[in-house]
Structures are given as C-alpha cells and as structure tokens.
A and B are shown apart, each in its own frame.
Chain A
Amino acid sequence: MIPELGHFALALACALSFAQAILPIYGAWRRDERLIAAAPGLACGQLLALGVSAFCLVWSNVVDDFSVLNVAENSNSLKPLLYKITGSWGNHEGSIILWALILALCGGAVAGFGRNLPGALRARVIGVLGASSAGFLLFSLLTSNPFTRLWPAPIDGRDMNPLLQDPGLAFHPPMLYAGYVGFAVPFAFAIAALLEGRVDASWGRWVRPWTLASWCLLTCGIALGSWWAYYELGWGGFWFWDPVENASLLPWLTGTALLHSAIVVEKREALKIWTVLLAIATFSLSLSGTFLVRSGILNSVHAFANDPARGVFILGLLGVVIGGSLLLFAIRAPALSAGGIFAPVSREGALVLNNVLLCSIAAVVITGTMYPLFSDLILHDKLSVGAPFFNATVIPLAVPVFAAMTIGPVMPWKRAALLPALLRIWWAALIAVMVGLIALTKAPVLPALAFGGAAWMIAGAAADIVERIRLFRLPAGNSMARLRGLPIAAFGAAIAHAGLGVTVAGIAGMSLARQQVVLVHPGEQIQAAGLTWALDSLTDRTGPNYNERVANIRVIRPGEPDLEMHPSRRAFTTQTVTTTEAAIHTTGFADIYAVLGEERDGAAVMRLHYNPMAPWIWLGGLVMAIGGGLSLADRRLRVGAPARKTVPLGVSA
C-alpha cells in the first residue's frame, strides 16, 4: 500500500510540475496576474507531493518491504538502519527521486524566500524550475520507477555494495546533489532574464546568494567524496581523475567562475551576457555530468546500450535543456545591453582573468574526460587518459589563478595599477618566499613552490583584510572601527581564498607521501615509510553483517607511546564481497595510514603510508565552504529581504 501511495504521489508531483512549468510562464507572458500568483502555490504543491513520495520510498526501505524491486535489489534485512535510510538514494532509481526532491526544494525556496522578487520574474524562475522537474519526474516514472513491485517477494534482499555502507558516503550524495541541483536556480534566473530581456545589478544580487549556497554545498560534497575515497578505498590517494570525480569538478569550476562574474554584474553591470552563459553552462555541466556518469556511458559504452530507453531519454532531456537554453541565449542575448567600461588592469580585469582561467581548466578537464569515449566511438582506439594528463594540463593553468587571486581583491574597481597593488601586499609575498625557501630545504622544488603558493594565498587573504582596515597605518581605534564596519562578505571571500591555500598546502604535502608494500610475519618489526612498525597478531572478528580479519599493529615512535592501529579486511556475508578498511591515525599535520592485504604462509601483505599534510586537503574544502557560508550571511545580499534568516538550500533530504 505504502509503495503505491508513493507511486501515486510521484505521478501527482509530475502533473503538478507540468502545471508549474506552463502556467506561470504563460501568465508572465500574458501578464495574467492570477497565473503569476499561482506559481508559488504550484511549487509548494509539487514539493509536498514529492516529499510524500520520497518518504514512502524511505519507509519501504526501513521496513524491509522486499516486494518492492528497488528495495529487494539494494537492501537487506541485516543492513544497519542508517544505511537502510541512506540506501534509498544510493541506487539509480532512488537517486533520481533525491535529485527531483532537491529541485523541488529549490522551487519551494524560491517561492518562500523570493517574496521581494518582481512577480513576473519569480513566476518565470519557478516555471523554469518546474520544467526541469517535469523532465526528471517523467524520466523517473517512465524508465526508472522506484516503486515497481516484485512478485513473489524474495525472503531477503541482495544488499547494498559494502563500499557504500559508510557514514561518509551516506551524506556525500545528498550534499553533492544539493550542490548540483542548486545551480538550477541561477540557471532558472538566467533563462528568466533571457525571456524578460533584462539583466541588471539587482539580477546579479538575486543570483549571487543562490550560486553561493550551491557552491558551498558542492564544495563540501566534493571534499566529502574525496575523503571517502581516501579512507574507504584504501588506495592512499585522494583524487583519481576518475570520470565520476571530474563530473563533480566541472560544475565546481564553472560555478566558481559564475560566483565571481556575478559580482561584476552586481557591482559594475558588466559581463552580463557572459554571466548568463556561465549560469547556463554550469547547470548543463551538472546535468550532463551526473547523468552521463549515472547512465554508465562514460565508463562503458555498452552499459548505456543495456537500457536503451533510459539512454535515449537522458540524451533527449540533455538535448532539450542544453540545446533549448543555448538557442534561447543565441536569440535573446544580443538584446541585453552591454554594461560598464573598465580597464584591463582593474578588479573587473582580475575577475575576467579568473573566469578565463577557470573556464580553460574546465575545458581541459572536459577534453580529458570525454576523449576516451570519442576515441572509442569514432576512431575505435581504446585508450585512457589518466592522472599524468590532468596534472600536466591543470596545474600550469591553476598556477596563474593562485597568483592572481591574491592580487585581485586589493585592486580597485574600474582602473588600477599593478605595482601599487603589489606593494600593498608585499609582506604576503615575503611570507610566501620564506615558506617556499624553508620548504626547499626539506622537499623537492615543485612541492616547495606549491607550499610557497599556499602561503601566498593564505597570507594574501589576511593581507586583504589588513589592507582594508588600514592596520598599523591608522591608529588602532580607527582600524577597529573599520574592522567592525567591514562587510561580512569581505571576511567570507578572504576565508574562502585562504581555504584554497590550505587545500593546496595539503596537496603539496601529499606529493611527498611515502608508501611501501611489505610482507610481515606476526611478531616481526620492520622499517617502512620512514617509521618503525610491529605486527603483533592477526585476529578474526565478527560485525553485524560481515566477518573481518584484523591486523593488530603498533607504530613505534621514539619518545612517544606506541601507536596501536587495526587495519582490517571485511568479508560481507550477503554479497561475497571483501573490502579493505584502512587504519588511519592523524596528527593534524600528517596521516599514518595502514592497509591489510592478503595473507601468505602466515605472513601478511601490508601497505604502509606516511602522508604529510593529508588532512589539510579536506580541511581546506571545509574552510572554503565556511567562507562561502559567511558571505551568505552578509546583509548586502539580503537587501530588501529582511525576512530571510537561514541559508535557503541548507536542507536536504
């Protein structure tokens, strides 16, 4: 009964989303006040119906209703409750529901928080969001219905991939999806602006908080995913340039560009057409990224052919969304008037440079990700593009971004000179050079340069704030007064910039990581990865739905108590799958990381790592997101919207 209710609610949400797509946009076109006023109600109605549907799906998972095909294939009665709940969106069908639910939440948020928007603009934005929802809900109903029944019902389900039974991964998809889908709002604003034929500073001010909120969530989502790969896969790396990872990085890159170009629209009314195009590109990349990956086309062309209906639907949907919006852009963009004039060397100029470089990075990442697919389809050459390609192309393009992102914020708008700007942050440059030189005594040239660059970004962010409050140049009291008067967004930007520096420092440290594969007998002591390790014993242990083999090891450190670690291998009973559980001890400045491999003749194969600075990689992501969150709290972003209290996208399913 409950699954049927969910199915009905899903169909209802689909019908409502069509109404939400058609009525408000038609109303805004015809200037029909009644239809314009119907938009928020329709958005909330769709959200409510979809919420019921999603709840029914979670319910079916929690009560182990194995007569539902989706539950039978992906769940098991032995699975812990947390993973029964999170497992409902850990598969294809469920993830589409989660996606649509977050999209509906965006619509609801625009309806709820956008009361100060002009009625017609709000109606159009909600209409565009409704049209996207309609596409997904139709896709879900027609090709991936999560409520399909199975008869006779099996006694138990097939269980979820054990790799996914992990708290990190339980929260990674909703976070990432919220980031992806959040970019639907700037996209809807862009389409609405094209329909209206008007982009102005206030448009920039409305778009920015939505972009910022999605960007924060996407940043957190990517960092969580990378952290999960680090500790759960047990390979010791944090980023593998895998198509799935690249699919999340691409919207982040263009989203970051959008965030910065929206500032120019808001402050200077320049770059309007470009910003509209970026908003379209970012959402298109979110869409195509997830769906190309979800459909399996990027990993294997054949998986795509397994279910032609899904593949064709996805391609059709992508074609309509991307092609349609670009067509609209081509027709309407010339009508948007060009904005303010600025010199190449100016704050605007620095932001243009940021946009050009970020888009270039996105372009090489797309090239590297898609090339194997094209080469297989067109040239019939099987090849893969791995980390060396991305390192060789992304790093040289990222270096100027790092160099410029510190100088940009201290340059004035409209017209600036490079030398005075540099002189204002001379001490950041001095710190960077010193850090680089100190690192050079202990590390090779490239990591040392990266450490210098990281110091440049962190010190530069501090220099920006110090410069704004004229510290040491005005009496301390005046500086304090300036500090209090500084907009929160200024702190947010500085913190986010520093966060990137923290991440870069982490990556530089990880490039110095040492690892060694060893064969150890119980009771033996060995030297590996610069540390002394002792394997005390190998024992067996039983968990809720797995049996595991645990290595009890100690790291012997001079002058400190021994460090006990317990890496293990888990054999999951329901799925005949083994996972390696790495043991990680972090000091904040380095990770000691041990992985247990197979056993031969009583000895264990182990891979032992020493990863300097590793935690900083994800810490930096968190700092960036916090910076973004602080900017969201800025009153200036809420001008005319005193009612808004919280981050509009904070909730996820």
Chain B
Amino acid sequence: MKAKVYVTLKKGVLDPQGKAIHHSAELIGLSQLADIRQGKYFEISFSNGIGEAEAREAAETIGRDMLANPVIEDYRVEIE
C-alpha cells in the first residue's frame, strides 16, 4: 500500500519560487498563465499487511507533524 502526500502553500502566503518559475515560463512564450505555486509531493510505501485505515492514519500523522508547517502550508493525503 502507498500514500501520496501533497504539501501546498496556504492561500496568501508569498511564493517567490513559484513567481520565478512563472516568470521563466513566460520567457519561453507561455503567456496564458495566471499563477504558479510551488509545492511538495511525497510517496510513502508501507510494509505488507497494513490496512488502509492504519496507512491513512500514519500518513496523516507524518503530513501534519512533519511534512507540512501548519503556519504556512496545507497538506492532503491520498491512499492507493
């Protein structure tokens, strides 16, 4: 079983890296872009035999306590 954790900046938090990427994207001719926000993506693999509920709980714990800083970031967990 695997979990995917997405960490994204909260709305309104300045993202200078996203802005720089946006600017560079415009330099290669992409003029229809309104905004680019940079985030982080994590893949967590679990040991065999773990149940979905347990995997979700573990992924939520690591997402909440470690991968995201709640002051500036949100996180989202997907299990597959």
Do A and B belong to a common assembly?
no
